C-alpha cells in the first residue's frame, strides 16, 4: 500500500524509564543547548517550576513552528483554511500555539498522545498565567506537573533531532498545479490509499488553486480536479463536497468562465451538483462560526466567547446546510468547553442554538462531519468536555440516531449514553487513527 505520510514517526519512547530527575530527563533534549538545559535544571532545583516550564515551552513551540514551516507557509495557510497566506508571511503570524500542535499532529510530526500532552502543558501554563497575584501566591505548579510537562516537551519535540518534514507531500502538492495527472498515475493510486486527512488537504489545495491561478497553472489544476475528483468522490465526506460546490458557486458569481467550465465538468462526472449552494448566504454563517472558534481558542476565551455566539444567533433560526459543519463544530466547542470548564456567558446561548438542530441535521453531522472533526474529537479526551458531551448525548438522544457511515461513531454514541469513560477514550483513539492513518 502506498503511504503519503509526510514524516514517519520515530519511536516516541525517547526517554528511558530510568531517567527520573530533571537533569536526567533534560539530557535527551537534543534541540536544546547545554546552556538551555542547565538553566531549566537550575530552575527545577530552586523550586521555580513555573519559570522552568514557561522557558521550556517557549523553546518547544518555537522549534515546532520552525519544523512546520519547512512544508511551506502557504501550505500551512491552506491547511488552516487561510488561502490568502503566502510564503512571505511569518509563520508566527499565522500559527497560534493550538494551530501548531494540531497541524503537527495532522502532518505526522507528533502522535495524538504527544499532542494531548503538549496541549495539557499549554493549558497548565495558560491557567497559572491568568491567576490574580493573591491567588498565584497560594497556588502554583507542583513538581510532578512540571516534570510531566518536561517529559511531554522533550518526547514530543525537543528530543528529536532537527529534521525537515519530508518533502513527499510538498512535491505532490506542487505537482497538482504544475503537472497534469492521468487516472493511471502512480500518485493518484498513492492518494487513494492514503488516510482521509490527505483527501481533505488535496481538495483544499485544488480548490484554492482554482480560485487564485491563471494560465498554465490553472489548466493543470482544473485537469487534475477532473482526474482526482472521480477517483475520490465516493470516499469524500460532505464537508469536502460542499467545499467543492461552494467553489463552483463562487466562481460562477465572479464570472470566472474557465474555472466554472472545469469544475462543472468534474461535478458532472460525479453527479455533484447537489452540493452547489443556491446562494452564498452560507458564507456569513461560516464566518460567524470561525469567529467563535477564534474566540474559543484565543486568550481570555471565557470573556470573549459570548459576543461571536450572540452574532451567530442573530443570523437566523436556520443554518444553511453548507455552513452546518462549521457551525455545529463551533457551537460544540462552546458547550463542551475545555479542561477548565465552559464560559457561562456563552454556553447558554450556544446550547439554545443547538436545541434548534433537528434530528436529521444531527444525523448529518454525526455521519458526515464528526469522523473528521478533530477539534471536537480531541476535546472528548479531556475529562470536563467529555462529561459535557455525555450530557449532550443524553439531552438530544444522539445515541438513538441511526449512524450508517461509521461504526466507531455509532459505538461512541452508545458508550457515551452508558457513561463509560475508558471505552470513550479508546473509541476516540480509534477515530483519530482512522483519520490520521497511524497509531499513536
- Length of the chain in terms of residues written: 440
Is the domain of 188 the same as that of 269?
yes
pLDDT band at 310 (very low <50, low <70, confident <90, very high): very high
Residue 9 lies in a domain: no
Most distant CA atoms of the chain, gap in Å: 68
How far is Cα 344 from Cα 357, in angstroms, rounded to an integer?
Answer: 21
155 DSSP assignment:
I
Is the domain of 248 the same as that of 313?
no
Residue 65 lies in a domain: yes
Q: What is the pLDDT of residue 8?
A: 45
pLDDT at 11 > cutoff 70: no
Nearest to 339 by CA among 378, 396, 391, 294: 378
Helix (H) or strand (E) holding 252: helix 238-253
> How many structural domains are present in the chain?
3
Is the domain of 323 the same as that of 383?
yes
The burial of 21, by beta-carbon neighbours within 10 Å (0-12 exposed, 13-18 middle, 19 or more buried), is given as exposed
How far is Cα 28 from Cα 59, in angstroms, rounded to an integer?
Answer: 14
Compute CA distances 195 → 80, 110, 113, 198, 292, whole Å: 18, 16, 18, 6, 29
Is the domain of 222 the same as that of 126?
no
Residues with Cβ within 8 Å of 188's Cβ and at least 6 positions away in sequence, in order, are 181, 182, 227, 228, 231
Q: Which of 237, 257, 275 is the last residue of a domain?
A: 275
Is the domain of 354 the same as that of 216?
no
Q: What share of the chain has pLDDT > 90, as a percent? A: 49
* Lowest-pLDDT choice from 49-58, 275-284, 327-336, 418-427: 275-284
- The residue behind cell 446562494 is 279
Q: What is the pLDDT of residue 165?
A: 55
How far is Cα 30 from Cα 372, in angstroms, rounded to an integer?
Answer: 34
Q: What is the pLDDT of residue 297?
A: 86
pLDDT band at 67 (very low <50, low <70, confident <90, very high): confident
Is the domain of 59 the same as that of 192?
no
165 DSSP assignment:
P
Residue 271, φ and ψ in degrees, nearest 5 = 65, 45
What number is the average pLDDT over the span 286-295? 92
Is the domain of 104 the same as that of 60?
yes
Q: What is the pLDDT of residue 137?
A: 55
pLDDT one-digit tens code per residue, 342-380: 999 999 999 999 999 999 999 999 999 999 898 999 999
How far is Cα 170 from Cα 172, in angstroms, rounded to an integer?
Answer: 5
How far is Cα 69 from Cα 162, in angstroms, rounded to an integer?
Answer: 13
How far is Cα 130 from Cα 245, in angstroms, rounded to an integer?
Answer: 43
Compute CA distances 421 → 76, 382, 412, whole Å: 34, 10, 10
What are the respective helix, strand and coil percentages of the chain, to the nearest 5? 70, 0, 30
pLDDT at 316 > cutoff 50: yes
What 76-82 contacts at long range (C-beta under 8 Å, 24+ apart), as own/partner pairs, is: 76/103, 78/201, 78/204, 78/205, 78/208, 79/103, 79/106, 79/201, 79/204, 81/204, 81/290
Nearest to 236 by CA among 210, 267, 212: 267
Q: Which of 275, 295, 324 is the last residue of a domain?
A: 275
How far is Cα 359 from Cα 79, in angstroms, rounded to an integer?
Answer: 31
Residue 17 lies in a domain: no
4 DSSP assignment:
-
Q: What is the pLDDT of residue 151?
A: 93
Determine the angle formed by the axes of helices 383-396 and 421-436, rounding to 10 degrees.
100
Q: Which of 251, 275, 299 is the last residue of a domain?
A: 275
Residue 4 lies in a domain: no
Render 123-148 in DSSP notation, one character per residue. HHHHHHHTS-HHHHHH----HHHHHH
pTM to 2 decimal places: 0.70
pLDDT band at 433 (very low <50, low <70, confident <90, very high): confident
Residue 290 lies in a domain: yes
* Lowest-pLDDT choice from 271-275, 363-367, 436-440: 436-440
What residues make up the domain containing 150? Answer: 22-158
Q: For residue 21, how far is the Cα from the chain centroid?
A: 34
Is the domain of 270 the same as that of 338?
no
Compute CA distances 176 → 126, 179, 195, whole Å: 40, 6, 18
pLDDT at 296 > cutoff 80: yes
Residue 1 lies in a domain: no
Q: What is the pLDDT of residue 261?
A: 95
The burial of 58, by beta-carbon neighbours within 10 Å (0-12 exposed, 13-18 middle, 19 or more buried), is given as exposed
The burial of 342, by beta-carbon neighbours within 10 Å (0-12 exposed, 13-18 middle, 19 or more buried), is given as buried
Mean pLDDT (the chain) is 86
Q: What is the pLDDT of residue 233?
A: 95
Residue 8 lies in a domain: no
Is the domain of 231 the same as that of 98?
no
Is the domain of 262 the same as that of 343?
no
Residue 32 lies in a domain: yes
pLDDT at 127 > cutoff 60: yes
Is the domain of 345 the same as that of 248?
no
Amino acid at each position: 500500500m502506498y503511504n503519503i505520510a509526510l514524516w514517519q514517526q520515530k519511536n516516541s519512547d525517547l526517554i528511558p524509564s530510568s531517567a527520573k530527575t530533571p537533569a536526567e530527563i533534560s539530557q535527551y533534549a537534543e534541540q536544546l543547548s547545554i546552556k538551555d538545559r542547565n538553566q531549566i535544571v537550575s530552575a527545577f532545583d530552586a523550586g521555580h517550576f513555573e519559570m522552568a516550564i514557561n522557558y521550556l515551552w517557549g523553546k518547544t513551540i518555537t522549534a515546532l513552528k520552525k519544523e512546520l514551516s519547512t512544508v511551506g507557509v502557504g501550505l500551512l495557510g491552506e491547511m488552516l483554511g487561510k488561502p490568502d497566506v503566502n510564503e512571505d508571511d511569518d509563520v508566527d503570524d499565522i500559527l497560534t500555539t493550538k494551530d501548531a500542535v494540531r497541524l503537527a499532529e495532522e502532518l505526522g510530526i507528533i502522535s495524538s498522545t504527544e499532542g494531548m500532552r503538549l496541549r495539557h502543558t499549554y493549558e497548565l501554563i495558560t491557567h497559572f498565567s491568568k491567576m490574580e497575584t493573591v491567588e498565584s501566591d497560594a497556588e502554583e505548579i507542583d513538581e510532578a506537573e512540571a516534570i510531566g510537562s518536561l517529559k511531554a516537551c522533550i518526547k514530543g519535540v525537543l528530543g528529536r533531532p532537527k529534521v525537515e518534514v519530508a518533502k513527499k507531500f510538498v512535491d505532490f502538492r506542487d505537482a497538482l498545479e504544475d503537472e497534469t495527472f492521468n487516472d493511471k498515475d502512480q500518485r493518484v493510486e498513492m492518494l487513494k490509499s492514503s488516510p482521509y486527512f490527505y483527501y481533505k488537504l488535496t481538495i483544499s489545495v485544488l480548490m484554492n488553486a482554482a480560485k487564485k491561478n491563471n494560465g498554465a497553472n490553472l489548466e493543470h489544476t482544473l485537469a487534475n480536479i477532473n482526474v482526482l475528483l472521480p477517483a475520490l468522490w465516493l470516499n469524500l465526506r460532505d464537508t469536502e463536497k460542499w467545499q467543492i460546490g461552494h467553489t463552483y458557486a463562487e466562481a460562477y458569481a465572479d464570472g470566472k468562465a474557465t474555472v466554472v467550465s472545469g469544475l462543472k465538468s468534474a461535478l458532472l462526472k460525479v453527479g455533484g451538483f447537489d452540493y452547489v449552494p443556491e446562494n452564498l448566504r452560507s458564507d456569513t454563517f461560516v464566518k460567524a462560526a470561525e469567529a467563535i472558534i477564534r474566540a474559543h481558542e484565543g486568550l481570555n476565551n471565557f470573556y470573549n466567547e459570548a459576543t461571536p455566539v450572540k452574532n451567530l444567533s442573530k443570523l437566523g433560526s436556520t443554518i444553511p446546510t453548507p455552513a452546518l459543519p462549521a457551525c455545529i463544530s463551533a457551537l460544540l466547542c462552546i458547550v463542551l468547553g475545555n479542561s477548565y470548564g465552559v464560559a457561562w456567558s456563552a454556553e447558554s446561548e450556544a446550547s439554545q442554538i443547538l436545541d434548534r438542530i433537528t434530528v436529521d441535521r444531527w444525523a448529518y453531522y454525526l455521519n458526515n462531519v464528526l469522523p473528521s472533526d478533530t477539534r471536537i474529537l480531541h476535546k472528548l479526551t479531556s475529562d470536563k468536555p467529555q462529561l459535557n458531551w455525555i450530557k449532550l448525548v443524553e439531552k438530544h438522544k444522539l445515541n438513538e440516531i441511526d449512524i450508517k457511515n461509521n461504526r466507531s461513531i455509532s459505538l461512541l454514541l452508545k458508550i457515551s449514553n452508558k457513561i463509560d469513560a475508558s471505552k470513550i477514550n479508546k473509541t476516540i483513539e480509534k477515530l483519530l487513527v482512522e483519520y490520521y492513518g497511524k497509531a499513536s
